[in-house]
Chains A and B, each alone.
Chain A
Amino acid sequence: MRVALFATCLGDTLFPDAIQATALLLSRLGQDVVFPEAQTCCGQMHVNTGYQREALPLVENHAACFADESIDAVVVPSGSCAGSIRHQHEIVAERFGRPGLRDQVVRSRAKTYELAEFLVDVLGVVDVGATFPHRVTYHPTCHSLRMLRVGDKPLRLLRAVREIDLVELPEADQCCGFGGTFALKNADTSTAMLSDKLRNVGATDAEYCTAGDSSCLMHIGGGLSRLQTGVGTKHLAEILATTERTIAPKQGALA
């Protein structure tokens, strides 16, 4: 299958490891991965902050980039960006778009998948051949959970990882308090939500907190780093792409 990778603006710029991992994982699973170079951002931050007019050029660019018929599927390692493409692009296109944009948006949307959805629903794999000998807890991000309804697909993928010690996160379905510009506009409330999330992550004694969205991990990771907990964050894709061979040198270095 010819699979186009949507890196997301945040992933491309700040968290390239998660996108690399997605590209490597999909390639290993036999997909013909392509990266349409014209891609930039889905416009979620603009729409969620009220700037639908300003989101229009981004929606147009995204649709032009991925509506191409040679692309069989678009994979996004971000629940919130997948949610934006699925639920918000049409609203913006209908409100401000030129004739024809809506159709393009609907065509691109129909083949867009969040990573865990693509692996489990489209490829039909649960065991992706990963090995990750660490204690890990999983945070189901709000948009994956409630906008996309990915359910337990990410957990099924994680449970199939070899040597992983997967521990349940208390109050897992509570929001971490990121919410894009919410963290800036309502910084105090966001911090109160984050501190409860950090306490719950801490209670698991996990080495890593993982999730399907780099933005939530940026928030949780930023808090863990500030508190100097030593707990790391890793995108779900990074764990699923890790094989024995790739982590071997790190273990050697630790020894």
Chain B
Amino acid sequence: MSGTFLGMPTAPPRGTGNIRGSEPFPAAARTELGNAQLRRNVGKATRTIRDKRIAVTGELPDWEELRSAGAAIKRDVLSRLPDLLEQFEQAVTARGGTVHWARDAAEANAIVTRLVRGTGSDEVLKVKSMATQEIGLNEHLADEGITAIETDLAELIVQLGADRPSHILVPAIHRNRAEIREIFLRAMPGVDPDLDDDPAHLADASRRFLRDRFMRARVAISGANFGVADTGTLSVVESEGNGRMCLTMPETLITVMGLEKLIPSYADLEVFLQLLPRSSTGERMNPYTSMWTGVTPGDGPGEFHLVLLDNGRTATLADEVGREALHCIRCSACLNVCPVYERTGGHAYGSTYPGPIGAVLTPQLAGMDTGSGDPNGSLPYASSLCGACFDACPVKIDIPSLLVELRHQHVEQAGFDAEQALMKAASAAMASAGRWTAAQRAAQLGRLLGRGGRIRALPPPGSAWTSARDLPVPPKRTFRQWWDSAEGRAAIERARREGGAR
């Protein structure tokens, strides 16, 4: 511990791990935008999922009420999180589980490593989990000589391809089947060299590969979609059943769960088990819903450990506005409707959490204050604020407003720079009509830049605009000049008479 004095408020720890990119969003996006194959793959997949989602959410007459219920439950959880966590810990412990608390990625990784070592195994099976992606668990285990094998098909493709996930729900969304075939042939041990790119054959190859691992596995690591505070029950929802194999077959199960995944009672699952599959995969119900509570002799893993992960969540909770991002149930509906995500894919966001929710969650978990070039500082601006994400969110997170709030926080932290000088100047010019009309006259000088009624080239920062768009030359007369003119007065008078005659 550092030399903290009693009574002195300490800031909650910031998150670490895979929640900060290596370059700002605009630069990373430029690279991704240049990949035509990626744009086609991501565009096609997001369009398909979003159409399915609209169809199945439209079926429910009480969809809006469900969304409101989901938001209300999450708000309630966050308002009394410490109490609920304590209740949850007691319930898990009472049913034979062991609870561990991790402040950041390093602590969580160390706990999991110690637990795996304790079993004597050097191989673990993984259930698809965002929390373990967030802390970089697989990489850490590899450094410690422990092999982690992803069992979700898409995660396996990403892992074998030595790639990073590009989507919360569909990590390999940026890959097509020809690319997947190549990855399997290159990296999957024991694969049939004649494998073609028929999706059924690809799935079959992964099934053969994984079946061997399931049979010999002694340890599995999962995340959790929900933790039920009053019973200590954990739940994972999935489509393939591979997760259930991991959750039931090994002797030891280790679950890493973000603090915000808690819900108060078993009955609350009713709301989320409707919201999540319809929002994420566009299915009425996901094929596999696994739930477990502590340990049961002779049934499933004999040892169960739960690692409760903070990693910046308490810090996020401390922000009265931004905490709403912790409502997120990781359905990825916002990614699938986001015009920015659709064109850049997930890698441009540099975090385990891409897309609109990532643009608010990442900077809050990990901060955006490591200097003017902090890539996380660019994330709140990676949105045109079109609002499609807010409409799609099953728990009504007002992502556009949160982005605007984070931009405010970023500007307040970042301090003086050229942009702020421009904004201050614009504000001063527009704070009174007198100065504003003077500025308008100056703007009319812009007429000198144009030819044929348009401006085709501007100096920076306007050059970003004229790289692909013309700008109209300012007209000879502003509206207020027209309004004050004899011509304007006559036109309004004529319009009034016409109206009266109608």
Q: Which of A12, A38, A50, A243 contacts B479 (CB 8 A)?
A: A12
A46-B426, A186-B29, A187-B464 given; A146·B492 CB < 8 A: no
Query: In the bound complex, how far is the Cα of B385 from the Cα of A181, in angstroms?
Result: 11
Cβ of B72 under 8 Å from chain A: no
Cβ of A30 under 8 Å from chain B: yes
A177-215 vs B: 1/0 string, CB under 8 Å? 111111111111111111100000000000000000000
Residue contact A146 to B472, C-beta cutoff 8 Å: no
Cβ of B193 under 8 Å from chain A: no
Residue contact B465 to A184, C-beta cutoff 8 Å: yes
Main secondary structure of the interface of A (DSSP, over half): helix
Residue contact A182 to B478, C-beta cutoff 8 Å: no
Residues of chain B contacted by A53 (CB below 8 angstroms): 411-412
Residues of chain A contacted by B343 (CB below 8 angstroms): 189, 192-193
Residue contact A27 to B388, C-beta cutoff 8 Å: no
Give A42-88 interface residues, CB cut-off 8 Å to B. Answer: 43, 45-55, 57-58, 60-61, 87-88
Residue contact A48 to B423, C-beta cutoff 8 Å: no
Residues of chain A contacted by B30 (CB below 8 angstroms): 188
Q: How far is the CB of B386 from chain A (nearest CB, A)?
A: 4
Cβ of A101 under 8 Å from chain B: no
Residue contact A147 to B492, C-beta cutoff 8 Å: no
Residue contact B461 to A184, C-beta cutoff 8 Å: yes
Binds B, one of A105-113, A131-139, A218-226: A218-226
Q: Which of B419, B462, B468 contacts A223 (CB 8 A)?
A: B468
Residue contact B427 to A179, C-beta cutoff 8 Å: no
Query: In the bound complex, how far is the Cα of B391 from the Cα of A225, in angstroms?
Result: 32
Q: Which residue on chain B has the smallest CB distance to residue A233?
A: B472
Q: How far is the CB of A87 from chain B (nearest CB, A)?
A: 7
Query: In the bound complex, how far is the Cα of B388 from the Cα of A146, in angstroms?
Result: 7
Cβ of A20 under 8 Å from chain B: yes
Please list the residues of chain A having a beta carbon within 8 angstroms of any beta carbon in chain B. Answer: 7, 9, 11-17, 19-20, 23-25, 27-30, 33, 35, 37-41, 43, 45-55, 57-58, 60-61, 87-88, 129, 142-143, 145-147, 173-175, 177-195, 218-219, 221-223, 225-226, 243
Please list the residues of chain B having a beta carbon within 8 angstroms of any beta carbon in chain A. Answer: 25-26, 29-30, 33, 39, 339-340, 343-344, 380-388, 390-391, 401, 404, 407-412, 419-420, 423-424, 426-428, 430-433, 436, 440, 443, 454, 456, 461-462, 464-465, 467-472, 474-475, 477-480, 482-483, 488, 491-492, 495-496, 498-500, 502
